[in-house]
A and B are shown apart, each in its own frame.
Chain A
Amino acid sequence: QKEVEQDPGPLSVPEGAIVSLNCTYSNSAFQYFMWYRQYSRKGPELLMYTYSSGNKEDGRFTAQVDKSSKYISLFIRDSQPSDSATYLCAMRGVTNAGKSTFGDGTTLTVKP
């Protein structure tokens, strides 16, 4: 069983929709939770970063972490065609910033 499981998708939504992307994990040592966005044929780029449980908001994006359920989510409000990409969740323990574990990614298409 993988340490990190991500809802596989793909997702296709109309412009303006609210999108929910989700991951579950099994390793209780994970304390830092990240979301990366990857456009086609590009490297991933960091989108959101959350430490431990709670919510974090940045513009149209909200990251949510529920450590009791080992569940994290990324919400995108008022989705735009430019949000069309693959979204990867990632997480790691307190030590060793060089050793993150990634989900398999969810591909999102936002249709105009």
Chain B
Amino acid sequence: NAGVTQTPKFQVLKTGQSMTLQCAQDMNHEYMSWYRQDPGMGLRLIHYSVGAGITDQGEVPNGYNVSRSTTEDFPLRLLSAAPSQTSVYFCASSYDGTGYGYTFGSGTRLTVV
């Protein structure tokens, strides 16, 4: 049981480049979310999805796009990378039931130079 798989683990981008962070889960969870974690700022929600074909914005959506064509996959696209997007990105999935929290991936460390 792989859980939530994120790729790549590390990435360095130049300002203005675009890229896609991949996220896949094999638990048939309805909900998937992307967070970024910056020093001293905890986890901030970028975008989330309540099911295939349905996405919505979180607290810090600017500069990012998402889509969810299948239950399993929830990629995050950086449209034109900026140094302010240097962060650790976590994908998480969840089942909507009492007692269930998130299952997180291991993260992608992104540096924009």
- Chain A residues near B (Cβ < 8 Å): 6, 32, 34, 36, 41-46, 49, 51, 88, 90, 96-105
Q: Please count the residue pairs between chain A and chain B whose beta carbons lie under 8 angstroms apart in the complex.
A: 69
B32 cross-chain contacts in A, Cβ below 8 A: 98
A100 cross-chain contacts in B, Cβ below 8 A: 33, 45, 101-102
- Give the CA-CA distance A34 to B40 in the complex, in Å: 19
**Are B49 and A90 neighbours in the complex by a CB distance under 8 Å?**
no
**Are A51 and B101 neighbours in the complex by a CB distance under 8 Å?**
no
- Give the CA-CA distance A108 to B104 in the complex, in Å: 21
Interface size on B, residues (CB 8 A): 31
**Are B104 and A45 neighbours in the complex by a CB distance under 8 Å?**
yes
Q: List 16 A-B contacts (CB under 8 A).
A: A6-B42, A32-B98, A43-B106, A44-B104, A88-B42, A88-B43, A96-B31, A96-B48, A97-B31, A97-B100, A98-B31, A98-B49, A98-B94, A99-B45, A101-B45, A102-B44
B26 CB-CB contact with A under 8 Å: no
Further pairs besides A100-B45, A102-B42, A104-B42: 18, Cβ < 8 Å: A34-B101, A34-B102, A42-B106, A43-B90, A44-B102, A49-B99, A97-B31, A97-B94, A97-B96, A97-B100, A98-B48, A98-B94, A99-B48, A100-B102, A101-B45, A103-B42, A104-B41, A105-B42
